[in-house]
Amino acid sequence: MIFSVPFFPGAPNEALEAASSGLVGESDLLIVGPGVLGRLVAEKWREEHPGCQVFGQTVTTDHHDELIKMGINPSLKGTLSHRFPYVIFCAPPSRTSDYPGDVRLAALNWNGEGSFLFTSSSAPFDCNDNGPCDEDTPVVPIGRSPRTDVLLKAEKVVLEFGVMVVIKLNYVHKADRGAHAYWLEKGTVEVRPDHILNLIHYEDAASLSVAILKKKFRGRIFLGCDNHPLSRQEVMDLVTKSGKFSKKFEGFTGTGDALGKRLNNSKSREEIGWEPKYPSFSHFLGVSE
């Protein structure tokens, strides 16, 4: 299959001028939304590209000092005049009223040479009965829910450019972040316990993102998960079993919400040549399931 490279007016000259002036190099990376995942991507990208520059685009200046200390060059949305060979968009839809528009704006900061990667969610896959789901599972139609509409419209923007890549993540976690941490804080949660989750550690989501960026894929959708789906109850049983958390989870009390899906990203792994550092949530916690 052949994918055409989109034409950005003025992009080649501007990118060449920026590169020749030392502003943008051939391995430089722009991170739109440099939060937990974006900062890990920056760290891993630098390990593989010593001497490169990493730029971070945000909607406020609140964390610019932190980014500077990490060696990330911060800027506000809409202020960048240069284009970059590598761009990853990992900003959440909750911080904006026009998520697809933000994705389009970010796309205009890509020069078309390396990779553009958009981090999405597995939510739009049309499966809510705890059944199997992979890269080829159909997505829900536009109009079914505002949440999936926002993601689908953003993905459509990405794929309209013809050469960009979407990675779908579900429940990203580390010790103090993720669904388990939220539920521990709440103590009791009114959702059903048998809903299936698909997990991936933040470090693994970052290493997968870097692996995809390096491959320079075009017009693709990949899945990011550890291939060990668990129910909500199983997640919290492992948390309790680990003995690593001071708070106690009381339980799930819901019965009427939807079930989940069992993601399998074996195709993505084989094509990308990637395996996770943490092959399961129980492995991450150091306990057996």
**Could you give the number of structural domains in the chain?**
1
Among 16-30, 108-122, 158-172, which stretch is predicted with the lowest mean pLDDT?
16-30
What pTM does this model have?
0.89
- Domain membership flag for residue 255: no
Say what the pLDDT of residue 163 is. 60
Give whole-number Cα distances, 152 to 4, 53, 100, in Å.
22, 31, 9
Q: Locate the DSSP E strands across 59-163.
A: 72-76, 84-89, 110-121, 131-133
Q: How far apart are CA 263 and CA 196, in angstroms?
A: 9
pLDDT in tens, 160-181: 876 667 878 888 999 999 999 9
> Dihedral sign, CA of 200, 204, 210, 211?
negative
Residue 116's domain comprises: 29-172+200-228+261-277
CATH number of 38's domain: 3.40.50.720
pLDDT of residue 45 exceeding 50: yes
Q: How confident is the model at residue 75 (pLDDT cuts 50, 70, 90)?
A: very high
Say what the pLDDT of residue 41 is. 98
pLDDT of residue 269 exceeding 90: yes
Say what the pLDDT of residue 15 is. 35
- Domain membership flag for residue 79: yes
- Domain membership flag for residue 182: no
